[in-house]
Chains A and B, each alone.
Chain A
Amino acid sequence: MKSPSRRSFLKAGTAITAAAAGLTPRVAQAGPANILSPDRLGVLVDTTVCIGCRNCEWACKIAHDMPTPPLETYEDAAPMQEMRRPDETALTVVNKYDHPARPDLPTTVKVQCMHCDHPACVSACIVGAISKQADGAVLWDTDMCIGCRYCMVACPFQIPAFEYHKAIQPRIMKCDFCTDRRKEGKLPGCVEACPVEALTFGPREELVRVARDKIRRNPDRYLDHIYGEREVGGTSWMYLADRKFEELAFPKLAQDPAPGVSESIQHGIFAYFVPPVSLYALLGAVMWTTRHKHDDEVELL
């Protein structure tokens, strides 16, 4: 038999603590109050349509006033030779993966913040600097951030980046779903720039319908899997592909929200402050009852 892991030990400990406090562990409900709107937005990325032109990378930098090389330089596919991750200078990148059936035409995949419905970064942030918006976006607030970088560790997609080179006010950098542009009534920069509309922007529920319809009508073209529909409890950005997502460097994730377990432990321990108060009350009572014993011992000495 396997020896109990640290996780199962902690789980058991939590359950006992919570039971002692007369509470039920709420593993399923992650994060604070559920503010997800049924109309929340998302993007469906069709990797079978993407041509790897990297116009989205260019448009992203323009949209965020970052230093941007001229558009023509993006015709050079050389940067895609190596696997890249979004960093503090590029909030989205396109990677390529050789296609087994077509040596000349690799699969190209845009990577950016997935804007999880139950974000681990929001859960991990100890000061509430990252928040999930009703419209689906996961946003970072420069005024509240203390630079602990817990969000970077928590993210199952390894997305948040940090401006390590800046001594003063370094920022956490990640896709902000072009919230400023959308307030002006514009589309996210990458979605607007995509020449083939491999990125479809719209209400998430509608996108799931569209994706299902695509799979139903073209069963030969698509794998019957919408990545992000259920992974870590659902993400705002979702992907379609003609091959296994693991081959495209997507992490294989369960359907439970990432913060589910950790939050139930933390929230259980501190729920309504009853367990800590009970614990200190118990300790106080022990001290109180043993107080005179100690006095006697001191006198004897």
Chain B
Amino acid sequence: MTRIASVGLLLLTAGASAVAQARPASRAAGASLDCRACHTSPTPTRNNPSLSACPRLKVQGYHAVDEAPPVITLGTPGKTYGPVKFSHREHAHMSAANGCSGCHHYDQARPIQKCKNCHAVSRARGELGKPDLKAAMHRQCIECHREWNPTGGCSTCHIKEGAAPAPARKKVAAPERIVYETKATQGKSVTFFHKDHTDRFALACADCHVQESCGACHDRKRVAAAQPVLTRQTRAGLTEDQAHERCANCHTTDACGTCHKGMPSRALAFDHGRRTGFTLNRFHARLDCRSCHKGTGAYRSLATDCESCHKGWQKTFDHARAGLQLDEQHKDFECESCHDDKTFRAKPVCASCHDDKAWPAHKPGKAVPRAPRKG
């Protein structure tokens, strides 16, 4: 069991890295990926993988949720109850289901395995360590459904012969703002602009609300009418990391003043590199978000090669500005001759021409002070 779990985790990590780099060919690079990029805990387990809630590092399944089968009929008619008409796609969209991975654990990067490939059809069996098929399926459903509707019996899902199906649930009304009453020394009230975030970043519920209880959104006690502003008390006994976990998925926590008004730091709190895979260099970090993510709608992801924003820059680029004056032999080469990655972040390569030279021991020119940025 432990081996399967570790293989599953490896696949999850590999899948995540593939998405982060938007290039499946570079999957092998996943080996060097920091576990903390996907997992919030240093020891993720099968039951508590503690996946980080970042939309852009989301593990992608074999196919999109929208391509999932809409309805699956489970089981056969019994004496009392009919088979279950399981609204599969609708469930896959739910936050608690967390896409495909909520139920199809271990390996969703390949075609979905049949449950019975691992879970025995017969209850009388040799390997007792994992539940049989019937139990595995029931446990998947019941864990959420009991919490959502503790008094609902078998007939919640197994509709009796001839009876009408259960009515569809009401849509969840998302709040506009959530005010957290925190234990900070300054700026106790932290307002989270929920609607602003979902609109600007074009987020679906499940992008952030992963592995959450159904009741967190489908709050049975909450009145049907949307409450635009919710107030939440920070739970007692949380460490600083735990208290910041939600926000820290996308924001750096060292810029306190961004959320806790009155605290000193007011720097940009969005961790661009960790969230998007594109670390902002010192020049890009100074820019307003809208300088690159143009328009007024949600921020869209951009191509990461320089050319996509800096059109034709190579023709006029003065290499000395990067801190190296190219010598006569090198100055007329195409950029790609030495820089074999489009983002110019990797080490330049000498080996395509020189067998005995390597950066940075050998430089194709003279080191000069970096030019300050114009304007």
Give A residues with C-beta under 8 Å from B: 44, 49, 51, 53, 70-72, 75, 77, 104-105, 187, 191-192, 194-197, 200-202, 206-207, 210, 213, 217-218, 220-221
Given known A-B contacts A104-B147, A105-B147, A207-B128, A71 and B123 have beta carbons under 8 A apart? no
**Least distance between A61 CB and chain B CB atoms (Å):** 15
Find A49's partner among B128, B139, B154 (CB 8 Å cutoff). B139
Contacts of B147 in A (CB 8 A): 104-105
A-B contact pairs, 5 of them (CB 8 A): A53-B154, A71-B80, A201-B123, A202-B128, A213-B129
Q: Are A217 and B46 in contact (CB under 8 A)?
A: yes
Dominant secondary structure of chain B at its interface with chain A: loop
Give B residues with C-beta under 8 Å from A: 1-2, 45-48, 79-80, 123-124, 128-129, 131-132, 134-135, 138-139, 142, 146-147, 150-151, 153-155, 160
Complex Cα distance, B80 from A97, in Å, reads 29
Contacts of A192 in B (CB 8 A): 123
Q: Which residue of B lies closest to A75 (CB)?
A: B153
Contacts of A213 in B (CB 8 A): 1, 129
Find B134's partner among A105, A195, A210 (CB 8 Å cutoff). A195
Given known A-B contacts A196-B139, A197-B123, A221-B47, A72 and B128 have beta carbons under 8 A apart? no
Contacts of B134 in A (CB 8 A): 195, 197
Contacts of A49 in B (CB 8 A): 139
Q: Are B123 and A53 in contact (CB under 8 A)?
A: no
Find A196's partner among B2, B79, B129, B142 (CB 8 Å cutoff). B142
**Least distance between A192 CB and chain B CB atoms (Å):** 6
Q: Are B132 and A197 in contact (CB under 8 A)?
A: yes
Q: Which residue of B lies closest to A202 (CB)?
A: B128
Complex Cα distance, B154 from A221, in Å, reads 25
Residue of A44, A194, A195 contacting most chain B CB atoms (<10 Å):
A195
**Least distance between A186 CB and chain B CB atoms (Å):** 8
**Least distance between B86 CB and chain A CB atoms (Å):** 15
Q: Which residue of B lies closest to A46 (CB)?
A: B131
Contacts of B151 in A (CB 8 A): 77
**Least distance between A262 CB and chain B CB atoms (Å):** 36
**Least distance between A95 CB and chain B CB atoms (Å):** 17
Q: Are B129 and A72 in contact (CB under 8 A)?
A: no
Name 15 extra pairs, CB < 8 A, besides A53-B153, A71-B80, A75-B154.
A44-B128, A49-B139, A53-B154, A70-B80, A72-B155, A104-B147, A195-B154, A196-B135, A197-B123, A197-B131, A197-B132, A207-B128, A213-B1, A217-B46, A218-B45
Contacts of A206 in B (CB 8 A): 128
Complex Cα distance, B147 from A72, in Å, reads 21
Complex Cα distance, B195 from A219, in Å, reads 38
**Least distance between B87 CB and chain A CB atoms (Å):** 20
Given known A-B contacts A192-B123, A197-B123, A210-B129, A105 and B138 have beta carbons under 8 A apart? no
Q: Are B46 and A72 in contact (CB under 8 A)?
A: no
Complex Cα distance, B142 from A195, in Å, reads 10
What's the A-B contact tally at a CB cutoff of 8 Å? 60
Complex Cα distance, B142 from A105, in Å, reads 12
Q: Are B45 and A217 in contact (CB under 8 A)?
A: yes
**Least distance between B248 CB and chain A CB atoms (Å):** 22
Complex Cα distance, B140 from A196, in Å, reads 9
Complex Cα distance, B134 from A191, in Å, reads 12
Q: Are B123 and A105 in contact (CB under 8 A)?
A: no
Q: Are B46 and A187 in contact (CB under 8 A)?
A: no
- Which 9 pairs from chain A and chain B are nearest by CB? A197-B135, A75-B153, A104-B150, A195-B138, A202-B128, A196-B138, A197-B131, A210-B128, A196-B135
Find A218's partner among B47, B138, B150 (CB 8 Å cutoff). B47
Q: Which residue of B lies closest to A185 (CB)?
A: B124
Contacts of A201 in B (CB 8 A): 123-124
Complex Cα distance, B79 from A195, in Å, reads 15
Contacts of B150 in A (CB 8 A): 104-105
**Least distance between B356 CB and chain A CB atoms (Å):** 54
Contacts of B128 in A (CB 8 A): 44, 200, 202, 206-207, 210
Contacts of B153 in A (CB 8 A): 53, 75
Contacts of B154 in A (CB 8 A): 53, 75, 195
Q: Are B132 and A51 in contact (CB under 8 A)?
A: no
**Least distance between B326 CB and chain A CB atoms (Å):** 59
Find B124's partner among A187, A195, A196, A218 (CB 8 Å cutoff). A187
**Least distance between B172 CB and chain A CB atoms (Å):** 19
Q: Are B135 and A194 in contact (CB under 8 A)?
A: yes
**Least distance between B99 CB and chain A CB atoms (Å):** 23
**Least distance between B155 CB and chain A CB atoms (Å):** 7
Contacts of A195 in B (CB 8 A): 134-135, 138, 142, 154
Contacts of A194 in B (CB 8 A): 135
Complex Cα distance, B136 from A196, in Å, reads 7
Q: Are A75 and B155 in contact (CB under 8 A)?
A: yes
Contacts of B155 in A (CB 8 A): 72, 75
Contacts of A44 in B (CB 8 A): 128
**Least distance between A23 CB and chain B CB atoms (Å):** 44
Q: Which residue of A lies closest to B125 (CB)?
A: A202
Complex Cα distance, B159 from A72, in Å, reads 12
Contacts of A75 in B (CB 8 A): 153-155
Q: Which residue of B lies closest to A206 (CB)?
A: B128
Find B123's partner among A77, A187, A210 (CB 8 Å cutoff). A187
Complex Cα distance, B154 from A220, in Å, reads 28
Complex Cα distance, B150 from A196, in Å, reads 16
Q: Which residue of B lies closest to A70 (CB)?
A: B80
Q: Which residue of B lies closest to A214 (CB)?
A: B129
Complex Cα distance, B146 from A75, in Å, reads 13
**Least distance between A136 CB and chain B CB atoms (Å):** 15
Contacts of A51 in B (CB 8 A): 142, 146
Contacts of B80 in A (CB 8 A): 70-72
Contacts of B132 in A (CB 8 A): 197
Contacts of A197 in B (CB 8 A): 123, 131-132, 134-135
Complex Cα distance, B2 from A54, in Å, reads 33
Contacts of B131 in A (CB 8 A): 196-197
Contacts of A72 in B (CB 8 A): 80, 155, 160
**Least distance between B1 CB and chain A CB atoms (Å):** 7
Q: Are A217 and B123 in contact (CB under 8 A)?
A: no
Complex Cα distance, B140 from A51, in Å, reads 13
